[in-house]
């Protein structure tokens, strides 16, 4: 984590003066600056002016953001005070926040366990009470997993509602349709006001001010028989927790939570990888991991990096080297499965359906253990 404590203290002092001098009282300030004085942390892959943005690449260790990402700027304009930036996995592509620049980030509740990734630094600092609100990004669970592992709250919204500008790596190919920048916070009640602010003019597209009658919603749960291939079965403790959630919903709201099945879920891993390698709407393919790892230089050779890794000479982490090694073309078969899955989900859920589904089959794993269960992230 890189901090800006001195600047944050000066900004906090300005907030105190602003409150003292406000003639209209605190309510007037709250309307104009709803996040006035609230401590904010930012994922290191997202630009915060004056702070590093390496995304765990040693070659980017000296890079300092000269501007704020749009989402950061909107939160600052609402009065939030940034404390600094937090650790990520290398290139934001692993379920642990570990790299050769900053090292590994711990889970605040058990330091032998992972905080998740790639927004794991955010999960850790918010879970430990080091900040109140934060910003993450999510293309394959990078907000949802850290929130789950660290006992906090987050939201991966509809892609494009919150700007993805001002990040590294930059979006490319079909990634723009998968990546979401979103809020992470210690208290669930902060999600909605954060999202309204971060969405800017796009907030009107979501009807965020409309009240929802929970009793009029339809609730569904997926049986574990539909679990994706190559993944762990859901831990019994999580099954029991979900059972209690279902029981509480049925008792408090008078609804019936219906069990449903989506057979295509068993292809979830292959569907996600196929989408990741699709070109954008103009036909331009995504940047390869070998190119991104080189950060503007000649693309790295994953096999050579693996050999260097064996002798402790590679600048890159084993998971990223492995992912670069297995990059492949999109599969028409799995893209058809995606269309079928999307059609079935739209038909079942409609505009008033809620699907209860675990974000991960296991409790927060021990450090480095996810390498043995790498496909478990696909629950997100």
Question: Could you read off the pLDDT of 342-367 as tens digits, one per residue?
Answer: 999 999 999 999 999 999 999 999 99
- Gap between the Cα atoms of 65 and 48, Å rounded: 6
- Gap between the Cα atoms of 320 and 285, Å rounded: 19
| pLDDT tens, residue by residue, 195-205 | 999 999 999 99
Rounded average pLDDT over 180-201: 98
Closest by CA position to 178, among listed 132, 140, 152, 209:
140
pLDDT at residue number 321: 98
| Half-sphere exposure (Cβ direction) of 200: Cα atoms closer than 13 Å | 16
| pLDDT tens, residue by residue, 294-332 | 998 999 999 999 999 999 999 999 999 999 998 878 999
- Gap between the Cα atoms of 353 and 339, Å rounded: 19
For the chain, give the longest Cα–Cα distance.
67
Cβ count within 10 A of residue 211 = 4
pLDDT at residue number 174: 94
pLDDT at residue number 329: 83
Rounded average pLDDT over 258-279: 94
Name the CATH topology of 1-210.
Amidase signature (AS) enzymes (3.90.1300)
Rounded average pLDDT over 30-47: 97
pLDDT at residue number 1: 75
**Least confidently predicted of 57-66, 69-78, 162-171, 203-212:** 203-212
The three-state secondary structure class of 331 is coil
The answer to whether 277 and 173 are in contact (CB under 8 A) is yes
Rounded average pLDDT over 17-31: 85
CA 194 from centre of chain: 15
Rounded average pLDDT over 244-251: 98
Contacts of 212 (CB under 8 A, 6+ apart): none
CA 331 from centre of chain: 26
pLDDT at residue number 225: 63
pLDDT at residue number 228: 80
Rounded average pLDDT over 56-62: 97
- Gap between the Cα atoms of 370 and 94, Å rounded: 9
Residue 131 clears pLDDT 70, i.e. is over it: yes
pLDDT at residue number 351: 95
The answer to whether 185 and 133 are in contact (CB under 8 A) is yes
> Helix 5-21 crosses helix 25-32 at what angle (to 10 degrees)?
130
CA 151 from centre of chain: 14
Which sign, positive or negative, has the C-alpha torsion 200, 205, 210, 212? Answer: negative
| 192: its two tokens | 């909605």
Residue 211 clears pLDDT 70, i.e. is over it: yes
Residue 372 clears pLDDT 80, i.e. is over it: yes
Cis omega (within 30 of 0) for bond into 133: no
The CA distances from residue 302 to 28, 56, 278, 308, 316, in Å, are: 57, 17, 21, 10, 10
List active site positions: 43, 118, 142
| pLDDT tens, residue by residue, 155-176 | 999 999 999 999 999 999 999 9
Rounded average pLDDT over 262-270: 93
pLDDT at residue number 26: 79
- Mean pLDDT for all residues in the chain: 96
Residue 226 clears pLDDT 80, i.e. is over it: no
pLDDT at residue number 41: 99
User: Which residues partner with 74 through β-bridges?
Assistant: none
HEC letters along 196-233: HHHHHHHHHHHCCCCCCCHHHCEEEEECHHHCCCCCCC
| Half-sphere exposure (Cβ direction) of 378: Cα atoms closer than 13 Å | 25
The answer to whether 366 and 112 are in contact (CB under 8 A) is yes
Residue 257 clears pLDDT 90, i.e. is over it: yes
pLDDT at residue number 341: 97
Rounded average pLDDT over 71-100: 98
pLDDT at residue number 188: 98
Could you report how far apart the first and last alpha carbons of the chain are, in Å?
26
Kind plus residue range of the DSSP H or E element containing 182: strand 180-185
pLDDT at residue number 25: 76
Q: Which residue has the higher pLDDT, 8 or 328?
A: 8
Domain ranges of the chain: 1-210, 211-288+327-380
**Least confidently predicted of 10-14, 71-75, 220-224, 282-286:** 220-224
Closest by CA position to 39, among listed 94, 81, 91, 90:
81
pLDDT at residue number 327: 84
- Gap between the Cα atoms of 100 and 57, Å rounded: 8
**Least confidently predicted of 37-51, 227-241, 297-311:** 227-241
């Amino acid at each position: 984590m890189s901090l800006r404590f001195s600047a944050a203290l000066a900004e906090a002092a300005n907030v105190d003066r602003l409150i003292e001098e406000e003639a209209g009282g605190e309510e007037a300030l709250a309307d104009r600056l709803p996040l006035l004085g609230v401590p904010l942390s930012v994922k290191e892959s997202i630009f915060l002016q004056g702070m590093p943005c390496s995304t765990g690449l040693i070659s980017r260790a000296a890079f300092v953001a000269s501007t704020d990402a749009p989402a950061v700027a909107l939160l600052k304009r609402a009065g939030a005070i940034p404390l600094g930036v937090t650790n990520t996995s290398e290139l934001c592509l692993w379920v642990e926040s570990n790299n050769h620049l900053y090292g590994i980030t711990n889970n605040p509740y058990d330091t032998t366990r992972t905080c998740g990734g790639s927004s794991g630094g955010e999960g850790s600092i918010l879970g430990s009470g080091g900040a109140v609100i934060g910003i993450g990004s999510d293309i394959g669970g990078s907000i949802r997993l850290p929130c789950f592992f660290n006992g906090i709250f987050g939201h991966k919204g509809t892609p494009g509602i919150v700007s993805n500008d001002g990040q590294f790596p930059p979006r490319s190919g079909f990634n723009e349709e998968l990546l979401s920048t979103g809020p992470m916070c210690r208290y669930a009640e902060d999600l909605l006001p954060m999202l309204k602010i971060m969405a800017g003019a796009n907030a009107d597209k979501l009807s965020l001010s409309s009240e929802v009658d929970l009793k009029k919603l339809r609730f569904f749960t997926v049986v574990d028989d539909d679990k994706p291939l190559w993944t762990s079965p859901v831990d019994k403790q999580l099954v029991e927790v979900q059972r209690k959630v279902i029981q509480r919903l049925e008792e408090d709201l008078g609804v019936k939570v219906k069990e449903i099945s989506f057979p295509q879920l068993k292809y979830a891993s292959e569907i996600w990888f196929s989408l990741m390698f699709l070109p954008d709407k103009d036909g331009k393919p995504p940047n390869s991991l070998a190119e991104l790892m080189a950060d503007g230089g000649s693309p790295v050779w994953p096999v050579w990096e693996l050999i260097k890794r064996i002798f402790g000479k590679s600048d890159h982490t084993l998971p990223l080297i492995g992912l670069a090694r297995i990059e492949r073309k999109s599969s028409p078969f799995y893209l058809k499965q995606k269309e079928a899955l999307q059609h079935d989900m739209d038909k079942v859920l409609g505009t008033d359906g809620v699907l209860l589904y675990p974000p991960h089959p296991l409790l927060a794993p021990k450090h480095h253990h996810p390498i043995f269960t790498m496909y478990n992230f696909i629950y997100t």
